[in-house]
């Protein structure tokens, strides 16, 4: 028969094992308890209101199913722009994206409840959607990218494109060997703003998984842009990798000669050119941009994108959406229409 001391020892071991099991339960699934804490915090601030709707949109003979869910955390301000955050992401980005969204909510959006548009070339999982909704205050829209916006146009020689990727990979050009990166750059350059989910909005704020917001934003950047007549806002400007855009400048100059009627004076071409008129490769880093959707939908920008797309440089080289957006801004806008958000603390690796 076990002595009392032995029995107490057995109870102690059993209690330790039970405690470890509880801790493991709470920590599993990639620290998902943080989402519960976040949801509880939002619930304490105000009464949650949730509504779900499913709509079907027909786009170029393809059916696109969109789910929309509203979970406002606080009453939005009386005045708000017709705007949304837009995020190109995948199911595998969930952890990094939740961390970025939690910061964005804390620093800004919990006081404004702007909606989010999440876009993916593959269907979002139910788990992705459920866990995203738990960390944001605004309405969530989840959209599938049409195949024709994430594939090769018929005029692209895919054999040549594959040879270019192989060569750039061997030369260790950043993302030079990636096929999906090229589709992403082309999509961000000319298609994201044409998605049906974006039709209802006039302004967008681009967000990417893994970015960080270091400071509180105590005003509404959307309203600032709208009321001050701005069209494009950025935080960081750097130079593009020269190996990725060997013919982008010449292709842009060809467009300007072909359509001088679309290029106003004054403009911002001085930002992207040296004293001798050559291309200096400066661009606005487009992983953060707050801008007018009407600008991207304009005849002049669409004509420029179509000219670039027909040239094939998204696939035969590795044209990025940052220099494409920046050249479009430089050609079509003037200094008074562009704003540097130097007061927004922002980080995107590897800088």
Tell me if 135 sits within 8 A of 98, measured CB to CB.
yes
148 included as an active-site residue:
no
In the numeric block, the tokens 């060569």 are attached to 167
CA-based nearest residue to 331, from 243, 232, 236, 246: 232
Residue count of the chain, please give it: 351
- 216: tokens are 């509180």
In the numeric block, the tokens 């005003």 are attached to 219
Residues 6+ positions from 164 with CB-CB distance below 8 Å:
315, 316, 317, 318
Task: Catalytic residue, from 105, 188, 240, 289: name it.
Answer: 289
Angstrom distance (rounded) from CA 80 to CA 47: 21
Enumerate the active-site residues. Answer: 289
């Amino acid at each position: 028969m076990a002595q009392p001391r032995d029995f107490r020892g057995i109870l102690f071991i059993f209690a330790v094992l039970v405690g470890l099991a509880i801790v493991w339960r709470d920590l599993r699934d990639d620290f998902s308890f943080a989402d519960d804490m976040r949801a509880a915090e939002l619930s304490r601030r105000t009464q949650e209101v949730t509504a779900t709707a499913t709509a079907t949109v027909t786009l170029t003979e393809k059916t696109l199913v969109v789910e929309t869910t509203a979970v406002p955390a606080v009453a939005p301000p009386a005045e708000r722009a017709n705007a949304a955050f837009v995020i190109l992401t995948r199911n595998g980005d969930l952890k990094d994206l939740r961390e970025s969204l939690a910061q964005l909510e804390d620093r800004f959006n919990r006081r404004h409840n702007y909606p989010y548009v999440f876009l993916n070339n593959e269907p979002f999982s139910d788990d992705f959607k459920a866990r995203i909704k738990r960390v944001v205050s605004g309405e969530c829209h989840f959209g599938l990218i049409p195949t024709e916006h994430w594939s090769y146009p018929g005029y692209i020689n895919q054999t040549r494109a594959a040879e270019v990727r192989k060569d750039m990979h061997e030369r260790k050009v950043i993302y030079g060997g990636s096929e999906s990166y090229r589709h992403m750059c082309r999509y961000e350059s000319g298609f994201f703003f044409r998605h049906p989910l974006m039709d209802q909005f006039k302004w967008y704020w681009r967000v990417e998984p893994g970015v960080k917001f270091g400071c509180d934003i105590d005003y509404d950047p959307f309203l600032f842009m709208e009321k001050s007549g701005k069209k494009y806002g950025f935080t960081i400007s750097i130079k593009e990798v020269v190996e990725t855009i060997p013919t982008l400048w010449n292709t842009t100059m060809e467009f300007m000669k072909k359509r001088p009627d679309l290029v106003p004076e004054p403009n911002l071409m001085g930002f992207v050119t040296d004293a001798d008129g050559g291309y200096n490769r400066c661009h606005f880093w487009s992983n953060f941009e707050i801008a007018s959707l009407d600008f991207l939908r304009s005849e002049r920008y669409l004509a420029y994108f179509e000219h670039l797309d027909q040239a094939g440089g998204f696939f035969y080289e590795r044209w990025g959406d940052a220099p494409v957006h920046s050249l479009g801004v430089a050609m079509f806008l003037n200094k008074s229409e562009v704003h540097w958000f130097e007061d927004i603390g922002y980080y995107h690796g590897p800088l």
